[in-house]
Amino acid sequence: MIVTELAKTGVFIPEIGLGTWEYHAGPLPLRKGLDAGALFIDTAESYGSESVVGKAVRGLRDRVFLATKVSPQNFRPADLSRSVEASLKRLGTDFVDLLQLHEPNSAIPIDETMGAVVKLITAGKVKFVGVSNFSVTQLYAAQKALGRFPIVSNQVRYNIIDRTIETELLPYCRVNHVTVIAYCPLARGLSRIRDCDPTGAIDELSRETGKSPAQIVINWCVCQAGVVAIPKGNSVEHILDNCGASDWRLSQEQLALLNERVQHRRRNRFDQLVRQWVPGPLQSLAIQTLNAMPPGIRRRFR
């Protein structure tokens, strides 16, 4: 597994970690991923997966880079402290390597939140601080509020068909040495990515390289400077396939072919607000409806 430096911390993490959003397979697949070199697990208090992650890392804690997230409703200092203590208990550890603010919360001053985070750092319960789903403006404000400690990461949606962050956020993170942790590097599944690959470029490269389509897509992601990825898998087979996206690189010619032939989009502000505020059940219904449409129509909405 290729490792890369987290921001400018001097700490190196695997370029492919283990995502656990909507994870329900138990500790064994995660343990197999750790054994394969993906010694970076990302979870969150809202995922319901912290306990199983704790079981997966048991006996390996000193080798695993462990990341979790605090939900925005818990950003007030007393709530944040209780939230982190509960996460540590579920994870079976006395510290986390990376504590992330799960998404912005404009109702709570960021100075209050970061003041509480600083106390956790000085108490040794948190090593590094990151954010998730923060815009450039929000990231700048968070860094200013955190003061002498750096924001080391921003976890955001990024994949071969959704390149929204390339306009502003990714360049900003690169200049300011903030590692981008890409969630959903396989979008919501390869079927969605194939909708945007009408000429079959991914399968073509799969045959050429001997790598699986999922590995091609994830490798495209980690080929981007300053980016690591946390694909999810709910079986040993899928997790090991994801891990196989490391230790090799698509060539510049192969990357150019994907960039030219795989259709992608950059979501505008309206798209992002819809994704943020539309209730989950309505989003799921929209996804089900979209999946029932012909590929040519689906492609317009990916």
Sheet holding 40-42, edge to edge: 18-19, 40-42, 65-70, 96-101, 126-132, 151-157, 179-183, 227-229
| CA pair distance 120, 118, nearest whole angstrom | 5
Where do we find the tokens 């109702």? 107
CA distance 139 to 255: 29
Q: What letter would DSSP give residue 162?
A: B
- Determine how β-strand 40-42 pairs with β-strand 3-5: unpaired
Cβ-proximal residues to 57 (8 Å cutoff; 6+ apart), any chain: 34, 41, 64, 66, 91, 92, 93
47 counts as catalytic: yes
Element (H, E) at 175: helix 169-175
Catalytic residue among 47, 158, 172, 183: 47
Q: What span, in angstroms and rounded, lies between the C-alpha atoms of 191 and 142?
A: 36
- The dihedral of CA 158, 160, 166, 167: what is its sign? negative
Q: What angle do CA 170, 140, 180 make, to 5 degrees?
A: 30
CB 75 within 8 A of CB 105: yes
* SS3 state at 232: strand
Residue labelled with tokens 């012909």: 294
DSSP-derived pairing of the beta strands 179-183 and 65-70: unpaired
* Residues with catalytic function: 47
